[in-house]
């Protein structure tokens, strides 16, 4: 068996520079890495923090928690939970929040995790393998409409209806799908056209992974939480890897980057803007050449405004 590919952190320097950019040469205070992954961003942040800086990381993946245990820096702590739980932190207590969304290379390249159609493996796809339903368990009970909605809404798959019908028909005839190869083969039989170079199952796998891990809902919760816990001047940095994520981040920043007037109370003071959009960055051509998985990444940067007295 081939060894899993080493994880290459996307936009490593750009993300850490954006996060710490306004904090001076030896940043202090509390910082958040919302998605530890394999620790690329966390380790670089710790290299830059001053002695009074503190970094808290979040991750749902037990393997990420094991990797985080290798960091012995007293300024670092890890929490085995999703980044929406940063809402537990005190209001205005954080100087910066970084979220690197999506799936890490070790997750994709470890067959037994079930994230990839490139391997024959159990149909799992859970970020946290210690809790919740696997994809196989959900597909064993979901009806045609539920399956079609997930594949269409989270995968933007034109053939969601035929795929859903085929999944249920297969379940009735031969029993539930249990492996990635079974799902890949079934989807290939329903997708009549596909972009050059893309596996027919790409969108379906993406959709089921996003759904089973409630990725978009957790992102929305985490963005709202970050707005509450960020101190004035604190930075929000989010790296997205597909259009559904990036749209949520873009709209969130845009929503809070303007004053809001209540039309029912025309003479009332507007709700002040809470964020300032600072930048939108994509990987360089050199980074994409070195790490093709970075090609779809989009990083958005915003800064918390001063809280009115």
Res. 282 pLDDT band, cuts 50 70 90: very high
Q: What percent of the chain has pLDDT over 70?
A: 89
Q: Which pLDDT score is estimated for 238?
A: 98
Mean pLDDT of the region 189-207: 86
C-alpha span between 70 and 76 (Å, rounded): 11
All structural domains of the chain, each given as residue ranges with its CATH number in brackets, are 12-105+215-304 (3.40.50.150), 129-212 (1.10.150.170)
Beta carbons of 37 and 104 less than 8 angstroms apart: yes
C-alpha span between 176 and 133 (Å, rounded): 14
pTM of the model: 0.89
Q: Which pLDDT score is estimated for 111?
A: 62
**Helix, strand, or coil (residue 103):** coil
Q: State the DSSP H helix or E strand holding residue 118, giving kind and residue range, or none if neither.
A: none
Among candidates 154, 194, 185, 155, which has minimal Cα distance to 167? 185
- Residue bearing the bigger pLDDT, 243 or 106: 243
With a cut of 60, say whether residue 261 has pLDDT above it. Answer: no
């Amino acid at each position: 068996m081939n060894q899993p590919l080493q994880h290459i952190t996307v936009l490593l320097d750009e993300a850490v520079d954006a996060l710490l950019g306004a904090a001076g040469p030896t940043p202090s205070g509390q910082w958040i890495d919302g998605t530890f992954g394999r620790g690329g961003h966390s380790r670089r942040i710790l290299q830059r923090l001053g002695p009074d800086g503190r970094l808290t990381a979040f991750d749902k993946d037990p393997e990420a928690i094991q990797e985080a245990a290798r960091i012995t820096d007293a300024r670092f702590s890890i929490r085995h939970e999703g980044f929406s739980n940063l809402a537990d932190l005190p209001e205005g207590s954080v100087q910066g929040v970084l979220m690197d969304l999506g799936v890490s290379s070790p997750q994709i390249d470890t067959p037994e995790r079930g994230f990839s159609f490139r391997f024959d493996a159990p149909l799992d796809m859970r970020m946290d393998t210690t809790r919740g339903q696997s994809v196989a368990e959900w597909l064993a009970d979901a009806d045609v409409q539920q399956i079609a909605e997930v594949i269409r809404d989270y995968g933007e798959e034109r053939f969601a209806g035929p795929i859903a019908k085929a999944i249920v028909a297969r379940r009735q005839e031969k029993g539930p799908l249990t492996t990635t190869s079974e799902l890949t083969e079934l989807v290939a039989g329903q997708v009549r056209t596909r972009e050059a170079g893309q596996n027919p199952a790409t969108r379906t796998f993406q959709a089921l992974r996003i759904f089973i891990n409630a990725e978009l809902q957790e992102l929305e919760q985490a963005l709202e939480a970050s707005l509450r816990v960020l101190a004035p001047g604190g930075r929000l940095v989010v790296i997205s890897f597909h259009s559904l994520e990036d749209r949520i981040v873009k709209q969130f920043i845009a929503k809070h980057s303007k004053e809001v007037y209540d039309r029912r109370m025309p003479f009332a003071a507007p709700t002040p803007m809470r964020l300032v959009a600072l930048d939108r960055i994509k990987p360089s051509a050199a980074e994409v050449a070195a790490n093709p998985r970075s090609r779809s990444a989009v990083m958005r940067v915003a800064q918390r405004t001063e809280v009115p007295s």
